[in-house]
Structures are given as structure tokens and as C-alpha cells.
């Protein structure tokens, strides 16, 4: 009976370790955080506006992370709350840049006042 328990524990440990490897492999590729082709239907001005918004959100998250680091629990807060948001917004920015390049949009993002108004 103890052999059966050991075998079961070994299978669980193996499954957990393989699941961890799969999660680590996709963690920073962006595919885990954003759906490929998400922005294909947008036109260049809309892509530019979303990129500006994503850049602003990234700056906001980085500011919150820096502020959280001032407290003793800062690293824990950053790891549990802000790091996932930061990775997601960076993956979104990367996909927006890639989509803009594929569509032949201008490399220069126009200033916020030149963008069409949000709906």
C-alpha cells in the first residue's frame, strides 16, 4: 500500500513540474497575455491611439510598482498584483507595434491631440 502512495505522489509531482515548465515557457512571449490577431481589424489611427493608451497604462503601473516598493510589503504586492498587469500591457504594446508594422502604419505615433477622439 505504501508503494501505491509513493507512486501516486510521484505522478502528481511529475505533473506539477511539467505544468510549471509549460507556464514558464509562455510567460514572456505575450501569447499567454494577448490573443494573436486581436488588433487586425483596427485601422492605423485606432492602433496608434491604443498604443498611446497602453504606453500610458505601462507608465502608470511602473509608477505604482515604484511606490509599492517603498513599503516593506512592496515586493509581495508587485509580484501578486502589478507584475501580471505589467506583462499584459507590455505584451499588448508589442502586439500593437507588430500589427502597425504589418499594416504599414507610420512608425511615428502622432501626438495625443492629433488622434481621433475616443468613442
Q: Quick check: pTM over 0.85?
A: no
| 3-class SS letters over 52-108 | HHHHHHHHHHHHHHHHHCCCCCHHHHHHHHHHHHHHHHHHHHHHHHHHHHHHCCCCC
Q: Residue 28: which H helix or E strand, with range?
A: none
Grade residue 61 by pLDDT with cuts at 50, 70 and 90: very high
Residues 118 and 28: their CA atoms lie apart, in Å, by 30
Q: How does pLDDT run across 11-56, given as a tens digit for each residue?
A: 576 566 655 544 444 444 445 677 777 888 889 999 999 999 999 9
Q: How does pLDDT run across 69-87, given as a tens digit for each residue?
A: 888 888 888 888 889 899 9
Helix, coil or strand: residue 70 = coil
Report the pLDDT value the prediction gives residue 29, as an integer from 0 to 100: 47
Neighbours of 6 (CB within 10 A): 10
Find the angle CA(108)-CA(65)-CA(91) to the nearest 5 degrees.
Answer: 45
Amino acid at each position: 500500500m505504501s508503494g501505491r502512495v509513493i507512486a501516486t505522489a510521484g505522478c502528481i509531482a511529475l505533473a506539477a513540474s511539467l505544468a510549471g515548465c509549460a507556464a514558464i515557457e509562455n510567460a514572456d512571449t505575450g501569447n499567454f497575455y494577448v490573443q494573436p490577431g486581436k488588433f487586425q481589424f483596427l485601422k492605423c489611427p485606432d492602433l496608434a491611439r491604443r498604443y498611446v493608451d497602453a504606453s500610458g497604462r505601462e507608465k502608470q503601473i511602473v509608477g505604482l510598482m515604484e511606490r509599492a516598493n517603498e513599503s516593506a510589503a512592496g515586493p509581495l504586492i508587485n509580484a501578486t498584483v502589478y507584475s501580471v498587469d505589467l506583462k499584459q500591457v507590455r505584451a499588448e504594446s508589442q502586439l500593437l507595434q507588430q500589427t502597425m508594422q504589418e499594416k504599414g502604419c507610420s512608425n511615428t505615433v502622432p501626438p495625443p491631440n492629433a488622434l481621433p477622439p475616443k468613442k
